[in-house]
Structure 1
Amino acid sequence: MTHDLRSRLTGLVLAGGRGTRMGGLDKGLQLLAGEPLALRAAKRIAGQVGCVLISANRHIDEYKRLAAPFHARIVEDASCDFPGPLAGILAGLRATSKELLLCVPCDTPALPDDLAARLVDALDAAQADVAFASTTNAEGHRCPHPVVAVMRTCLADDLAAWLDAGERKVRTWYERHKSVQVHFQDERAFYNANSLHELAELERAFGVEPKRS
């Protein structure tokens, strides 16, 4: 990762959701092998970007402590009703003066070391506005990962208007702009944990036997 590329990029860890499928728990603060998921995600991208933001809407003091080693800032949604990942992305777009924003979900702790470089290369080559990751599953089906993406920060006003109109779907907003998918071979690098069961599976994948209650 070159200094020139890092100078163009801010990283954003999305940890501001309701955690509905985790019973309302704050997903980013759930532990994987003893570390909060959001911390693991931040570590994965910290060396790939110039600075790190964490989108959070609860337990702000805890996230500030988590972010301190990265000199990261916490950004909160403008709305208090948990409108979804696009609201967190908008907060990130508004919080940086850099050209590009790399956004990743907090529950994907093994993202590739070349994630930012490959997404930016594809964005530049296609002169696109958004580049997002995809993989192929065991059945041979393409699996998009729309919130693992690099986008131009000049999209902030358009996204704000989109949200003000009541729209929420990430892929539908991308379709308003020139977007490209970037295929990654290692599906395991994009494994995530939407539920406590999936978090236990990730623990096993990381070689840690989940604790029994």
Structure 2
Amino acid sequence: MSSTGIILAGGHSSRMGENKALLKIGGKTVIERIADQLSSILPNVIIVANKQEDYQFLGLPLVSDRWKEKGPLAGIHAGLSESRTQKNLIVACDMPFISGELARLLLEQLDQHQASVLEIGGQLHPLFAAYRKDAKDAAELALRENKLRIRQFLQEIDSRIIKDEELKNMGFLYRDAHFFNMNRPDEYRQALKLAEDASK
């Protein structure tokens, strides 16, 4: 079944002080790195961004939040509304080291569930997760009722939560970098070091 990668490029990057999606790692912007990784495994990639002019250089379809200033849930809703496929992978724009293999594993779970989300070390990762298009209606209802917490939204749909031990039992050896996201300047410096170490 065909799938779509949806990159959420919303947010104000207030803690970073500049647009984190456009910071460069290894000569490419973070959002380019994500788009390249998704394009290598998925036939469709779209960007959810309210400042669309910032991302036109990617040459990918762009869509804006239909619900303004409602956080990541609005981005998920906009992406699922735009998508033409049942299976979708949501990725935040500040995750430079995502794994294509892990993305495939998450998407496979959508044969039986509306969402598949990783929980690593007790932390849920709903912004590197897979969602079926039919989860859009529940997202819209939550937005209408101003229930914006994604954890709560996941309880309203058929969500498959995959924890660390189960992931290892599935034969996937993840690295912490796969879930690394950067919100502050020190985390950007850490990302640069991770990329440098990986290239050695």
User: How do 1:67-86 and structure 2 match up within 5 A?
Assistant: 67-68=58-59, 72-80=60-68, 82-86=69-73
1:188 aligns with 2:162: no
1:177 aligns with 2:157: yes
Partner residue in 1 for 2:193: 204
TM-score of the aligned structures, taking structure 1 as reference length: 0.82
User: How do 1:34-45 and structure 2 match up within 5 A?
Assistant: 34-45=27-38
Letter of the structure 2 residue corresponding to residue 78 of structure 1: R
1:26 aligns with 2:19: yes
Letter of the structure 2 residue corresponding to residue 98 of structure 1: T
**Identical pairs, percent:** 29
1:61 aligns with 2:53: yes
Unaligned runs of 5+ in 2: none
Superimposed CA distance per residue, residues 134-190 of structure 1 (whole angstroms, 9 cap, x where no aligned partner) = 33xxxxx33321111111101212211210111111111000011112336322221
Query: Could you tell me how far apart the structure 2 residues matched to 1:121 and 1:54 are?
Result: 22
Instruction: Decide whether the 8 Å contact of 1:28 with 1:38 is kept in 2.
Output: yes
Per mean C-alpha deviation after superposition, the further-off stretch among 168-177 and 35-44 is 35-44
Instruction: Decide whether the 8 Å contact of 2:45 with 2:61 is kept in 1.
Output: yes
Q: How many residues align?
A: 188
Select 1:117's aligned residue among 87, 96, 104: 104
Q: Secondary structure at the match of 1:22?
A: coil
Instruction: Decide whether the 8 Å contact of 1:101 with 1:152 is kept in 2.
Output: yes
Instruction: Decide whether the 8 Å contact of 2:10 with 2:50 is kept in 1.
Output: yes
Q: Secondary structure at the match of 2:99?
A: coil
Letter of the structure 2 residue corresponding to residue 88 of structure 1: G
Query: Could you tell me how far apart the structure 2 residues matched to 1:143 and 1:79 are?
Result: 26
User: What do you get for the CA RMSD once the two structures are aligned?
Assistant: 1.7
Instruction: Decide whether the 8 Å contact of 1:44 with 1:109 is kept in 2.
Output: no
TM-score of the aligned structures, taking structure 2 as reference length: 0.87
Letter of the structure 2 residue corresponding to residue 79 of structure 1: W
Q: Secondary structure at the match of 1:149?
A: strand
Distance change >3 Å, CA 111–CA 156, structure 1 → 2: same
Select 2:133's aligned residue among 153, 156, 162: 153
Partner residue in 2 for 1:104: 91
Query: Could you tell me how far apart the structure 1 residues matched to 2:39 and 2:98 are?
Result: 12
Partner residue in 1 for 2:119: 134
